[in-house]
Amino acid sequence: MTAELNLTADPVELTAALVDIPSVSGDEKLIADAVEHALREQAPHLEVIRNGEAVLARTNLGRGSRVVLAGHLDTVPVNDNLPSHRSGSGDDELLHGCGTTDMKGGDAVMLGIAAGLTDPRHDLTFLFYDCEEVEAERNGLNRIERELPEWLDGDLAVVLEPSNAAIEAGCQGTLRVEVRTEGARAHTARAWMGENAIHAAQPILKRLVDYTPRQPTIDGLHFHEGLQAVRIAGGVAGNVVPDSCVVTVNHRFAPDRSLAEAEAHVREVFDGFEVTLTDGSQGALPGLTAPAAAELVAASGQAPVAKLGWTDVARFAARGLPAVNFGPGSPTLAHTQQEHVPVSQIRHCAQALRRFLSQEG
């Protein structure tokens, strides 16, 4: 049976209703069914289609510009944090539960605008997609880009990931490499006959400890890079000198560098060692000089900040769209058992986006 969603309800009530539909990555059918049904029944002015467990909707009003709003429907696994509940009151009221911050508060804001704003200044596209919280190749936006690429086109993309209800512009790029050392096996009773590959990794760790990350300012926003060991693997047995060791390193880089430039930098840091790139994603420049982005900043009522992390704004930036993050909740609470969102932030994002999308030019 399809869950019923009231898209004209208070966005906080709508957030709670979405949270109470479990939608762990790979199991989004129930929530996608509910969203699709609600949009078809309550937003007849929209073109609505289904793509796998993603629901896409848009206006076709012939406006001179289009804004794309995007949010994922999936969450990390539930951790004894459903159903939703509230605490506090007034300005301190909180909504608790899995997905409240990441990112069903943002989804609720999108749904309210989709149903309620029938005469927007810009044409609007709404993307509710699946499998964002798992490996990148499963991300529903990949499938949409392959099968329905025109649905990702526009003049500005707003990803409603948690940003404390402030504009987080652009995003950092990310890459991972494996830095390898080789040695020679021997019995530990005769260790001098071998060469310990784990010991040989000491210079790698020293370079990481001594590393000073860049902190560039781009379009007036302060980014802070990072280079961190995130895994170390080596060893054969409790009485064997290991002949191999691999240090996995994650580099978060500012969007003024391309992925190729960031990789070259990391290889320079670990010059003399075998370095293998295992994955990487380009960042996104802030793009705040675009007229629509500047208007959104003004409507938000807050100064923008740099996004210190990677989000799907990079996918839109790669297609030539300026893209920002703007959603309720703190990203530091995402994926935690204590996940919650301030009620005031849900309402602020809903009001700011409605003001931006409906204002006269």
In the set 36, 53, 74, 225, the catalytic residue is 74
| Type of residue at 256 | D
Q: Please count the CA atoms within 13 angstroms of the CA of 67 that sit on its side-chain side.
A: 22
Please tell me which residue in 102, 123, 132, 263 is annotated as part of the active site: 132
| Beta carbons of 286 and 307 less than 8 angstroms apart | no
CB 310 within 8 A of CB 225: no
Cα-based distances in Å from 38 to 6, 112, 155, 320: 7, 11, 27, 31
Residues 6+ apart with CB under 8 A from 174: 250, 251, 252, 253, 280, 281, 283, 310
Note if 130 is an active site residue. no
123 with 62: CB under 8 angstroms?
Answer: yes
Q: How many CA atoms lie within 13 A of 84 on its CB side?
A: 24
Residues 6+ apart with CB under 8 A from 325: 158, 159, 160, 161, 163, 167, 168, 169, 171, 307, 311, 313
Q: Is 132 a catalytic residue?
A: yes
Nearest-angstrom CA–CA distance, 125 and 147: 16
Tokens of 295: 């208007």
3-state class (DSSP) for residue 245: strand
Task: State the catalytic residues.
Answer: 74, 132
